[in-house]
Structure 1
């Protein structure tokens, strides 16, 4: 089961994207990251469920533009997928296609930043940031296409050309607590923390996170089921194939039901103390439709009593 929503840090892509939808928070993060003044931004989040072979990754792209018509694509990255340079190329193409209208001259293309905030070192040099621009190899002449690809390493040790405020942001991203937020009394960090506290009280946002986590676990269990069925087929010589498949399906269904039951209990813990009898009833339930209905009810309920009366 994934980490509790209440304990998430801002390195979590889901929570980070939710916070960045607040345009003031988005502006503060960009100002700290780029060390420049930004008067105003418009931001929106485009969610793409991007699952790797082990179901570890979820991508939430944050797109923003400012009053100077500069475009920003920001993503929190926790898994080293080994493809970030090519993804930068693709994301820049996406920004360019959407910013140039039919018939407009190429000079109308907006300046663009592709920004990855990584919880690992993408290039293995220990730096806190890696900034890439297009240059001529022979004459060191800038191409002048007004694009930058920036990779931040929140665990970097080489702090050359890095502001203290950026290092504080890295601290807060990794440990989004009151203690870290107030440590250096940075006004922007404090504003970000107030927003994070507000988001963690949002029951709908928590339910969305748990639904996403449940989907990822279901996909993992589906893969486990396929593997179990494959094993059952190879064991067909020593036992009846139908019996082996039945066992695999039963195990997978039991695992899925147990996962949903855990999510229901986690939501209800926020509402108060749940009677043992109700806990036992939830834990023993195997019907997927019933568990799904209870999960939605737990996300909407305002009290244990309300949940019990409607379950």
Structure 2
């Protein structure tokens, strides 16, 4: 519990929990969007912070940090991204296709049954990254669909993906966005905007309900990690035992002095599994 209390006291805007709480304050979220996109927003509605989208039981569900809709029905998804993760199997970075998947599920959630496609509202999927994914030094990377044969021809699907680089060095951004970057990177307070954010975080840390919520969330995540490790150990043991049984059955088959029934009784493998092993042995010998 002491470790969790210390962790809570040391939370910064980079932490998902604090980021969601801070961006749940309208004045802060609106100002960030206005400064980033250089637009005016009269008001926003929150469409569930950390909304879980699971369109099909076979699909991979995602948990979105912040989803808001403005007074013109433009929808924004804001995400804080601290780690530039790779798939351990493919060794490829997951961010590009993660943005694609977020956009797809966001669209599915926005389009109600029997509605026409043209009723899909404009959307912005915005990742605030504390690393430069493209290593180009830009403050902002904005993506829309364009025709390869004519790059001036844009597909008007009104879907925009923006990847922010808080460690950027060039490009056109407002003073408040630059100060926001400095705050995210180094906790530097050099504008009224970042002072508002820092004051909000200080207020959140004094709120016993917020502290309790964080403790419960961390405890739940810890339990999930422990359960996952336990399941992995059980699965690993089961796989090890299965391999051991197959190895013993293969040796018994190779000796040629045991019936299939005897092998089944000793190894607890089914007759079908043993016949499959025998077939594999003959295939290997012939090759």
TM-score, normalised to structure 1, is 0.62
Q: For residue 164 of structure 1, what is the aligned residue in structure 2?
A: 175
Deviation at 1:97, TM superposition (A): 2.1
1:77 corresponds to 2:69: no
Contact preservation (8 Å) 2:81, 2:128: yes
Correspondence list, 1:113-192, <5 A? 113-140=124-151, 141-156=153-168, 158-176=169-187, 180-181=188-189, 183=190, 186-192=191-197
Partner of 1:16: 19
- Unaligned 5+ segments in structure 1 are 49-57, 235-311
Map of 1:91 onto structure 2: 102
Give yes or no for contact 2:131–2:165 (8 Å, CA) kept in 1.
Answer: yes
CA offset at residue 66 of structure 1?
0.2
Q: Secondary structure at the match of 1:46?
A: coil
Q: Is the 8 A contact 2:167 2:185 kept in 1?
A: no
Do 2:140 and 2:171's aligned partners in 1 also have CA atoms closer than 8 Å?
Answer: no
SS of the residue 1:69 aligns to? coil
**Aligned-residue offset at 1:127:** 2.2
Shift of 1:123: 2.0
1: CA distance between counterparts of 2:104 and 2:230? Answer: 39
CA distance in 2, matches of 1:134, 1:94: 18
The 1:135/1:60 distance shift into structure 2, 3 A limit, reads closer
The aligned residue for residue 246 of structure 2 is none
Cα offset, 1:144, TM superposition: 1.1
How far off its partner does 1:174 sit?
A: 3.1
CA distance in 2, matches of 1:226, 1:85: 30
- The structure having more radius of gyration, on CA atoms, is 2
Counterparts of 1:60 and 1:91, CA distance in 2: 8
Could you say which residue in structure 1 is the equivalent of 2:280?
Answer: none
CA contact (8 A) 2:20 2:66 kept: yes
Q: Is the 8 A contact 1:13 1:60 kept in 2?
A: no
Equivalent-residue separation in structure 2 for 1:187 and 1:102 (angstroms): 44
Q: 1:94 Cα deviation (Å)?
A: 2.3
1:211 aligns with 216
Tell me, in whole angstroms, the C-alpha distance in 2 between the residues paired with 1:70 and 1:46.
18
RMSD: 3.0
* Inter-partner Cα distance in structure 1 for 2:38 and 2:200: 21
Contact 1:10–1:175 (8 Å) recurs in 2: no
Residue 109 of structure 1: which of 114, 120, 126 is its match?
A: 120
- Listed one character per residue, the Cα deviations across residues 59-102 of structure 1 (whole Å, up to 9, x for unaligned) are 55200000011000111111222222222222222222232333
Q: Number of paired residues?
A: 220
- Check conservation: 1:59, 1:75, Cα contact below 8 A: no
Any conservation in 2 of the 1:9–1:174 contact (CA below 8 Å)? no
**Counterpart-to-counterpart distance in 2, 1:66 and 1:225:** 45
| Contact 2:42/2:70 (<8 A) preserved | yes
- The 8 Å contact of residues 64 and 77 in structure 2, kept in 1 or not, is answered as no
Q: Once the 2 structures are TM-superposed, how far is the Cα of residue 104 of structure 1 from its aligned partner? A: 3.1
| Counterpart among 41, 65, 68 of residue 64 in structure 1 | 68
- The residue aligned with 1:34 is 37
Which residues of 2 match residues 227-266 of structure 1 at below 5 A? none
